Amino acid sequence: MFSAPSHKTLPRQGDPRKFAQQGISLEGVIPIAALSRLAESLEGTEGQVFVRLDFGISEEKKKVVSGKAHADLMLICQRCLSPVAKPVECNISLAIVWTEEDAKMLPKHLDPWIVEDASADFFDMVEEELLLNLPPVAYHEEQCVDPKLFQSGEPVVVKQEKNPFQVLEQLKSSPKK
């Protein structure tokens, strides 16, 4: 598990290229309520995301950011439709590029973070990573719905209706003279 950074709020804006040149690390929290796209997927926006970002230069001489983000998110259980808290953790490993063209020239193992201006929004980047790491289906670990609700009292009987092609079948199987 990842250790929680200090409860200092992560700066929202910064120059990731300058941070990469200087090898800066950022650590802090982001209120879940400040991440509007993520909040749309959640049942509640209480809590915070714990984030650590390390900026630097890769072996390929690319400016990169790596780190982790972790939050306990309140999702809807798809079995019982009530809230369920799910831990979501994501590993961040991105190359900082100016344009789509620069992104196409990156090595396959690096994902791009397109930053067109000198200043970038760290909240947006972390939010995108969390959205990509949401579980496809959320549900309680324990049995939250009575299995008896899925059983019917009587077995289902399928009626055998008259087949309109039965005459053709009889003609096909009759001996030729």
Q: What's the pLDDT tens digit per position in 10-47?
A: 999 999 999 999 999 999 999 999 999 999 989 888 99
Q: Tell me the CB-side half-sphere exposure of residue 17, using CA atoms within 13 A.
A: 9
Q: Are strands 83-97 and 111-114 parallel, antiparallel or unpaired?
A: parallel
Helix (H, G, I), strand (E, B) or coil at 56: strand
For the chain, the domains span 13-137
**pLDDT recorded at residue 5:** 45
Q: What is the mean pLDDT of the chain?
A: 87
Question: Which residue in 171, 61, 153 sits closest to 107, CA to CA?
Answer: 61
**Over residues 44-66, mean pLDDT:** 93
Q: What is the pTM of this model?
A: 0.75
pLDDT at 63 over 70: yes
Integer angstrom CA distances of residue 65 from 72, 75, 103: 23, 28, 15
**pLDDT recorded at residue 160:** 72
